Chain A
């Protein structure tokens, strides 16, 4: 049985796993990966709020035939549109992050954040 609350709990667990990875990892690439896990968790949550039991996808085709006001049996299309936007935003952020990682690797020859300290700080 898939229930909306179960999906909610699942996405919160995934969200917290992502944050745990971002806090405890030392490698920059691994941190970026955990942040994309966080983004995926919020996308799953967004999709889950549009779920209606026994419903059809919101696309009118020959099988469905018609959409009528009295008997509307489709899932909520708006969260799908929001998720489309959120995915592209995640791609953009990750691209910039990878570029920064390449540059930082050039300066320090490592991706470990503990070894990126300089003595002239503060």
Chain B
């Protein structure tokens, strides 16, 4: 079914970003309202599209009156729209924190324009059905990431953002190479047509395309050889940027990974085998990701900066999700979705609360957590609850996800089963350093002077956003049934490559 108004999800933020950027007196006073109204519009309109998707199935949006193999198109399916809604909620929370903080006063207009373009770019990445269009908006996405990392204008943030720039621009060149290769062989850039004909490509060309596409995404996914940028960029960035990076940037790259592997390459049944060069792609990816899990957890264990610990633990979780996806089964996919849910909600909350607890201290070390329960009671409780959710205590989404992960690899005994040791190791290490942090909250700080002059006022934006996120977490805890249906429907959609192709190219359907 054609539903051409979906494009408003991308165009309205772009138009209002131009509007916000205008140096006119009227807009200078009211740009905050425009900014928040645009995000609310996107949230409400995506809910509307979701209701249409539930009614009619996958929707296709045509741009320029040219039908897909010739023109660019957007595809909105159950999976992509749900992803978008979750990301919009996280974005709204960090936008509220950004708008009501006054320390970026002179540049606030420009930064809100950048954030709106960030919003437009990730909605386009999730909805698009064209490979080159994905590349263009992925570039916008990474440039806006670079800008928002460098906002603090200190040594750390500048170093982090230039590392990110160097890695991501090499990654984009790899992506461009792969796009050219695909076009030279298949003569098309439409994702559905590439998916239809991908099996016909010869063995080495297929390897080439897969490795190049992988290399371009893995730098965003914080996998081991390409994860050097996170150590500085998370530690040097502002708080709302941490929320965006941990809650949105990695998840969008994960979405691209899922689309590439499952809808284009048809991953579980991909035949990467030739008689003179046997290549087990599953074993290769598993080794890669488990190495990444081990390295990230060990760095998180040994580092002392709070933000760096949280950043590396988030990178380890992303690698765990990739580990689950590599199995290529429905149970592995649903465990990945459960872990994504727990990351999207609890990771931003961890960053937010830890920032509030360490506020006012010079060094953001583990020691600045001391006596937190008395200084900042509300945020300490938030931190404890979100750490419990993130590490996977029983009856939380992360717990079910890790249980499903064990089930996936242990139900069929083969040599992939040995890799479970890595997951057990990672869970143990994670428990250890999160409990060390929680333990610090209850220790009395002897060096702290009795200083009652420090204002202990709660900023309302932090309070409200923390409250919303914690309530979402508790809803997930009380009613675990609500995500059961959603996950089965999602996995049905992802493993049904034919339906995706059929929505776009019709394939003889009348």
Q: Are A96 and B146 in touch, CB under 8 angstroms?
A: yes
- Shortest beta-carbon distance, A68 to chain B, in Å? 20
B50 to chain A, nearest CB (A): 32
**Complex Cα gap A49–B172 (Å):** 19
Minimal Cβ-Cβ distance residue in B for A49: B184
Within 8 A of A (CB), among B147-196: 147, 150, 153, 155, 158-159, 161-162, 165-166, 169-170, 172-173, 176-177, 179-180, 183-184
Say which residue of B162, B170, B172, B304 sits within 8 Å of A97 (CB atoms): B162
Give Cα A45 to B147, complex, Å: 30
> Which listed residue, B139, B158, B180, B303, touches A45 by the CB 8 Å rule?
B180
- Complex alpha-carbon distance, A3 and B389, angstroms: 59
Q: Which of A19, A46, A93, A116 contacts B165 (CB 8 A)?
A: A93
Q: Chain A: which residue is nearest B142 at the CB level?
A: A93
Answer whether residue A86 sits at the interface, using C-beta atoms and an 8 A cutoff.
Answer: yes
Which of B136, B158, B172, B302 makes the CB contact (< 8 A) with A104? B158
**Closest CB in chain A relative to B231 CB, distance in Å:** 8
Determine chain B's interface SS by DSSP, over half rule.
helix
Bound-complex Cα distance A46 to B139 (A) = 18
Interface contact B170-A89, CB-CB below 8 Å: no
A19 CB contacts on chain B under 8 angstroms: 170
Given A78-B183, A93-B143: A100 and B165 interface contact (C-beta under 8 Å): yes
Cβ–Cβ < 8 Å partners of A86 in chain B: 176
Asked if B176 and A96 sit within 8 Å, CB to CB, the answer is: no
Residues in B with CB closer than 8 Å to A18 are: 173
A92 at the interface (CB under 8 A from B): yes
- On whether the beta carbons of A122 and B177 are closer than 8 Å, the reply is no
Closest CB in chain B relative to A21 CB, distance in Å: 11
Would you call B308 an interface residue if the criterion is a C-beta within 8 Å of the partner chain's C-beta atoms? yes
Residues of A within 8 A of B132 (CB): 82, 85
How many inter-chain residue pairs (CB < 8 Å) link A and B?
Answer: 84
- Contact A96–B147 (Cβ < 8 Å): yes
Contact pattern, A 81-117, Cβ under 8 Å of B = 1, otherwise 0: 0100110010011001100110110011000000010
Residues of B within 8 A of A108 (CB): 155
B184 engages A100 (CB within 8 Å): no
Say whether A74 faces chain B, with CB atoms less than 8 Å apart.
no
Contacts of B155 in A (CB 8 A): 107-108, 118
* Residue from A28, A100, A118 in contact with B161 in the complex, judged by beta carbons closer than 8 Å: A100
A100→B150 contact, CB < 8 A: yes
| Bound-complex Cα distance A85 to B131 (A) | 14
CB <8 Å contact, B162 and A104 = yes
* In contact, B162 and A28 (Cβ under 8 angstroms): yes
CB distance A22 to B136 under 8 Å?
no
Q: Is the CB of B143 within 8 A of A22?
A: no
In the complex, which residues of chain B have a beta carbon less than 8 angstroms from the beta carbon of A15? 173, 177
**Chain B residue with the shortest CB-CB distance to A36:** B169
Which chain B positions have C-beta within 8 A of A46? 176, 180
Q: Name A47's closest neighbour in chain B (CB-CB).
A: B180
User: Given that A42-B176, A46-B180, A103-B153 are known contacts, is A96 also in contact with B302, CB under 8 Å in the complex?
Assistant: no
Q: In the complex where A89-B136, A96-B147, A104-B158 touch, is A22 in contact with B180 (Cβ < 8 A)?
A: no
Q: How far is the CA of A118 from the CA of B308 in the complex (A)?
A: 15
Interface pair A38/B170, CB less than 8 Å apart: yes
Query: How far apart are the CA atoms of A41 and B165 in the complex, in Å?
Result: 18
Is the Cβ of B183 less than 8 Å from the Cβ of A49? yes
Is A42 within 8 A of B180, CB to CB? yes
Contact A101 B162 (CB under 8 A): yes
User: Measured between C-beta atoms, what is the minimum distance from B429 to chain A in Å?
Assistant: 17
Tell me, yes or no, whether A31 is within 8 Å of chain B by CB: yes
Contact A85–B146 (Cβ < 8 Å): no
| Chain A residue at smallest Cβ distance from B175 | A42
- If the complex has contacts A42-B180, A92-B143, A122-B302, are A35 and B162 also in contact, measured as CB distance less than 8 A? no
Q: Decide if A96 touches B143 in the complex (CB within 8 Å).
A: yes
CB distance from B71 to the nearest CB of A (A): 12
With a cutoff of 8 Å between Cβ atoms, the chain A residues found around residue B304 in the complex are 122
Contact B169 A35 (CB under 8 A): yes
Query: A46: nearest residue on chain B (CB-CB)?
Result: B180
Known contacts A15-B173, A38-B170, A96-B143, A122 near B180 by CB under 8 Å: no
Which A residue sits closest to B139, measured CB to CB?
A89
Q: How far is the CA of A86 from the CA of B166 in the complex (A)?
A: 17
Which residues in window 42-74 of A have CB below 8 A to B? 42-43, 45-46, 49
A41 cross-chain contacts in B, Cβ below 8 A: 173
**CB atoms of A100 and B162 under 8 A apart:** yes
Flag if A35 contacts B170 (CB, 8 Å). yes
B-side residues, CB < 8 A to A, are 132, 136, 139, 143, 146-147, 150, 153, 155, 158-159, 161-162, 165-166, 169-170, 172-173, 176-177, 179-180, 183-184, 231, 302-305, 308
The 6 A-B residue pairs with the shortest CB-CB distance, nearest first, are A49-B184, A42-B176, A38-B173, A46-B180, A100-B162, A42-B173
Selected A-B contacts with CB under 8 Å, 29 pairs: A15-B173, A22-B166, A31-B166, A35-B170, A38-B169, A39-B176, A42-B176, A42-B177, A82-B183, A85-B132, A85-B136, A89-B136, A89-B172, A92-B143, A93-B139, A93-B143, A93-B165, A96-B146, A97-B169, A100-B165, A101-B162, A103-B158, A104-B158, A104-B159, A108-B155, A116-B159, A122-B302, A122-B304, A122-B308
Q: A15-B173, A38-B169, A121-B231 are in contact. List 18 more A-B contacts (CB 8 A).
A: A35-B166, A35-B169, A35-B173, A41-B173, A42-B173, A49-B183, A82-B180, A85-B132, A89-B139, A89-B172, A92-B139, A96-B143, A96-B147, A96-B165, A97-B165, A100-B162, A108-B155, A122-B305
Q: Which A residues form the contact surface with B (CB < 8 A)?
A: 15, 18-19, 22, 28, 31, 35, 38-39, 41-43, 45-46, 49, 78-79, 82, 85-86, 89, 92-93, 96-97, 100-101, 103-104, 107-108, 116, 118, 121-122
